[in-house]
Amino acid sequence: MSSSSPISPHGQQTRVALISVHGDPAVEIGAEEAGGQNVYVRQVGEALARLGWQVDMFTRKANPLQAEQVQHCPGCRTIRLTSGPAEFVSRDEIFDYLPQFVSELLAFQQREGFQYPLVHTNYWLSSWVGMELKNHQPLAQMHTYHSLGAVKYANVPNIPAIATTRLEIEKTCLETADCIVATSPQEEAHMRSHLSSLGNIQIIPCGTDIDRYGAITRTAARQKLRIPQDAKVVFYIGRFDPRKGIETLVRAVAQSQFRADDNLQLIIGGGSRPGGKDGLERDRIEGIVQDLDLANHTQFPGRISNDALPDYYAAADVCVVPSHYEPFGLVTIEAMASRTPVIASDVGGLQFTVLPHETGLLVPPKDVAGFSRAIDQVLADPPLRDQWGQAARKRVETTFSWQGVAQQLGQLYSDHLRQFTP
Ligand code: UDP
């Protein structure tokens, strides 16, 4: 190991690599295919850096104009490697470019004069990179799945050609990585039931910024966004993807008892690129809004920036997460941190974050009437909304702050790094 690698006072290496081939931690969030994984990697990287780690986050270059390196804060940077054409490539098409990603990473280490003793890989594509690197150097591999092929393919009509490869790699990764980080007990249970009984899993949830979310009151947020104080605001934020269940939400709002109320507002936030895949879903959703005669009640503000998002969450009476499946669901804890109750599908990690009748409600996925009743229950009862909102905030403070999550991850890394220090 080169002497340029930082060493903690306890003699332990503190340099680690987070690998996120398709989820660039330095891009703006909300557009096509940029979502929770990008946020997770960036926030984990920055929070670990604040704890004294040297964090390099590797991703593939998806645009010739992108900088090769982005410094986020002292000790945390994004490094973009060439891996196939410097253009957007759908995650189902990236696999063939991964050998180039590995050789670029090896060349980077050689140029810099050190080797990473630990990598934390994200999503199955990066897990392959981590497993491949292990053939070249001593390395501890931590892995977060973000999505499991076996669960995803059970919920989509068209199975892509890459599915068999993905399923094999996800199983091998569970059985061979030094530690798998599951973000909820539900995700761990899915790994065991769908992938393998072998392998080491530890549960460390996703986190959120408890200072940024929850700093503004509902009244002030509505003033800023010019939303009337007596409006009934239902909020969705996220990618436009059929699996996010936005159609269920729109149909549920169309059945609301407040439908005739001029003050009912449905805000559907999230980005799309003209002509992009998510643009098609957005057009489809806009069509349903028109068909159901909801256009007067509905806004599509597009991608909502980091700065504006806390205002939207705080302004809402209720945030709805109607996904068909969600391994964790960052939106849920962002809303909860903002003291806004969440109505979510009764699936995956949403069963972990939302406490029914304490911080919100869980409804079977795609159950339009169920979502409609749940939304109406919160809209009809502001004291209940406030009670659940306060309890939601408390739950996030105790369980889902990035600082707490980074401390747990740092401890996990330290435990595995000991074997690399003399
Ligand atoms: N997001 C955002 N602006 C948008 C849309 C989404 O900042 O316009 C963020 C949102 O705040 C959350 C992430 O994208 O942090 C979505 O993560 P989640 O886990 O809910 O869903 P995923 O995208 O991973 O399916």
Pocket of ligand 1 (CB under 6 A): 29-30, 35-37, 39, 237-239, 269-271, 303-304, 306, 309, 328-331, 334
Residue 278 confidence (pLDDT): 76
Nearest CA residue ID for atom 4, ligand 1: 30
How many A from CA of 270 to the centre of ligand 1?
8
**How many angstroms is it from 135 CA to the middle of ligand 1?**
34
> To test the ligand 1 pocket, which listed residue (239, 299, 338, 402) has its Cβ within 8 A of the most ligand atoms?
239
> What is the whole-number distance in angstroms between the Cα of residue 8 and the centre of ligand 1?
34
Atom of ligand 1 at shortest distance to CA of 146? 24
pLDDT, tens only, 11-64:
566 899 999 999 999 987 655 567 889 999 999 999 999 999 999 999 999 999
Could you tell me the pLDDT band of residue 1, with boundaries at 50, 70 and 90?
very low
Instruction: Determine the 3-state secondary structure of 309 from DSSP.
Output: helix
**Pocket test residue of 241, 330, 336, 342 for ligand 1, highest count of atoms within 8 A of CB:** 330
- Centre of ligand 1 to C-alpha 16, Å, is 25
Q: How far is the CA of 373 from the centre of ligand 1 (A)?
A: 25
Ligand 1 centroid, distance to 161 Cα (angstroms) = 27
Instruction: Kindly give the residue spans of alpha helices, DSSP state H, lying in 292-349.
Output: 309-315, 330-337
**Quick check: 2 pLDDT over 50?**
no
Given the structure tokens 């995956």, which residue do they identify?
348
Q: What is the pLDDT of residues 67-107, one digit of tens each?
A: 999 999 999 999 999 999 999 999 999 999 999 999 999 99
Q: What is the pLDDT of residues 152-169, one digit of tens each?
A: 888 778 899 999 999 999
Q: Name the one residue in this structure whose structure tokens are 């295919």.
A: 33
Query: What whole-number distance in Å separates Cα of residue 281 and Cα of residue 287?
Result: 10
Q: What is the DSSP string of 206-272?
A: --B-TTTTTSS-HHHHHHHHT--TT-EEEEEES---GGG-HHHHHHHHHT-TTTT-TTEEEEEE---
Quote the ligand 1 centre to 3 CA distance (angstroms). 39
Distance 308 CA to ligand 1 centre (A): 13
Q: State if pTM tops 0.75.
A: yes
Whole-number Å distance, alpha carbon 257 to ligand 1 midpoint, is 29
Q: How many CA atoms lie within 13 A of 67 on its CB side?
A: 10
Counting atoms of ligand 1 from 1, which one is nearest the CA of 40?
A: 15
Measured from the CA of 304, which atom of ligand 1 is nearest?
8
In this structure, are strands 232-237 and 118-122 parallel, antiparallel, or unpaired?
A: unpaired
**pLDDT band at 280; cut points 50, 70, 90:** confident
Sign of CA dihedral 161, 163, 168, 174: positive
Q: Which domains does the chain have, with CATH numbers?
A: 15-207+401-418 (3.40.50.2000), 218-399 (3.40.50.2000)
Q: Which ligand 1 atom lies nearest to the CA of residue 241?
A: 25
